[in-house]
Amino acid sequence: MKKIVFSLILSAIFGSVSAQKAKVQTAYNYWKEPYQQFDKAKEAIDEASQHEQSRDMAKTWYYKGVIYSSLYQHEKYGSLCDNCLLIAFQSFEKAMDLDPKNEWAKEIQGFRMPFLVNKIFSLGVDQFKNQNFNEALNTFEQVQKMTPGDTSAILNSAYSAERSGESQKAIDYYSKLIDMKYEDEKIYSALANIYRGQAKNDKALEVISSGKKAFPGSLNLMLTEINILLSTGKDVEATKALDDAIAKDPENPSLYLALGSTYDNLANPRNSEGKDLPKPTNAAEYLRKAEESYKRGLTINPDHYEINYNLGALYFNQAAEMANAANKITNMQQYDKEKAKFDQKFKDAEPHLIKAMNNNPKLTEEDGRIYQGTLISLKQLYARINDMEKHNQIKALLEEKK
């Protein structure tokens, strides 16, 4: 009797094991053509991958990887899982962990897993393009786990983190790329701009300094450095950086505009509230350099409205200062000499202000501010030189804007 009972127990055990192995095969049969009943295949393989008798079989996880790969974006069965690709990848990983020399090893490592990594990476790209930056970040971080050290995954994680407001993650990923000596100067600019946004300007400049050592002569890094220096009031340092940038890109009128504006600011310093501060002793030298920079910019683009406006404003302000000083002269003969000088300076300003007015695209708020300033300067200029016909024309344009 005991032998019979023992035999029945063994039969039950082996029957259970056989049943679970059969469940794995059943899942595969549901998956393959011509059946392709992926819902039943998923149900069977999920059960087999959890059962103690089949969960340690490489075959179970290989089939699970295959089945879940097929579920992704399937018109009929795609809704059966949220992370089909990730589960498929993890299943193939499990198969390799259980038996590195399993019969599907070459297929898994040579095709299945790389295919899934590419699919998941493409999903992240689509999420990023659709501005789902948090989702994209999660996806690219998954790719990082799948392929540690993949610089494309790290870079896109950094981009996504930056766009989703995860500044510290973006800093970490950009820093990791720098440590890996990733060959792209833009990562230094991106990291510096994050620090700049956090008001950590010294840290930002440190990053740019490192970037310039790695990429000597990079115009992109020069421009980033210039923006940081200008935004933090480091005008003297900015002029040096601008000179370097101009040497690298001498046909860029915007650089001459920036250099001229910087010298202009050095000649006419203001406090944080915008109030005038005492002029430096070398203000005239700064203005001479500003004028020279603007003129060099106009040789490249004579119609550049911002450069014309700045140069016209420089001449106008010089003329106004000369006129104010002349008004204190009591000797009429001497006054007439000075008047001839400031009248000429006003006339020097006129053609540049006219070009600034005519070429202003008036597309942005800043364009509008400059256009308004140009009209006001021209109105005052014509009043100063007693050309009332043109004065009234400009006055009419100003009234149209009200």
Q: For residue 34, say if its preceding peptide bond is cis, omega within 30 degrees of 0.
A: yes
**How far apart, in whole angstroms, are the C-alpha atoms of residue 190 and residue 156?**
12
CATH architecture of 20-103: Alpha Horseshoe (1.25)
Residue 303, Cβ neighbours under 10 Å: how many? Answer: 11
pLDDT at 375: 96
Sequence-separated (6 or more) residues with CB below 8 Å from residue 190? 158, 162, 170, 174
Q: Give me the pLDDT at residue 354, please.
A: 97
What residue type is 369 in one-letter code?
Answer: R
Looking at 94-212, which runs of residues are DSSP E strands? none
How many Å from the N-terminal Cα to the C-terminal Cα in the chain?
A: 110
Judge whether 341 and 290 are in contact, CB under 8 Å. Answer: no
Distance CA 253, CA 112 (A): 53
Q: CATH 1.20.58 region(s) of the chain?
A: 302-402
Q: Cα(340)–Cα(332) distance, rounded to whole angstroms?
A: 12
Q: Where in the chain is the domain with CATH 1.25.40.10?
A: 20-103
The yes/no answer on whether domain 302-402 falls in CATH 1.20.58 is yes
pLDDT reported for residue 2:
47
User: What is the sign, positive or negative, of the torsion defined by CA atoms of 239, 245, 247, 250?
Assistant: negative
C-alpha angle with apex 368: 366 to 373, nearest 5 degrees? 95
Residue type, 379: K
According to DSSP, the residues that pair with 276 across neighbouring strands are: 270
Task: Measure Cα distances from 117 to 89, 123, 191, 254, 387 in Å.
Answer: 8, 10, 27, 43, 73
CB of 283 closer than 8 Å to CB of 347 = no
How crowded is residue 185: how many other Cβ atoms within 10 Å of its Cβ? 18
Partnered with residue 259 across adjacent β-strands are: none
CA angle 358, 362, 368 (to 5 degrees): 105
Taking only the tens of pLDDT, the chain with its 402 residues reads 444 444 444 443 444 445 556 678 887 787 877 767 888 888 888 888 888 888 889 888 889 888 888 888 778 887 888 888 888 889 888 888 988 888 888 998 889 989 999 999 999 999 999 999 999 999 999 999 989 999 999 999 999 999 999 999 999 999 999 999 999 999 999 999 999 999 999 999 999 999 999 999 898 999 999 999 998 889 999 999 999 999 999 999 999 999 999 999 999 988 777 788 899 999 999 999 999 999 999 999 999 999 999 999 999 999 999 999 999 999 999 999 999 999 999 999 999 999 999 999 999 999 999 999 999 999 999 999 999 999 999 999 998 876
Q: Which residues contact 155 (CB under 8 A, 6 or more apart)?
A: 173, 177, 182, 184, 187
Q: What is the pTM of this model?
A: 0.74
Do 57 and 98 form a contact (C-beta atoms < 8 A)? Answer: yes
Rounded Cα distance between 282 and 205, Å, is 28
Write down the pLDDT at residue 28. Answer: 78
The whole-number pLDDT of residue 100 equals 86
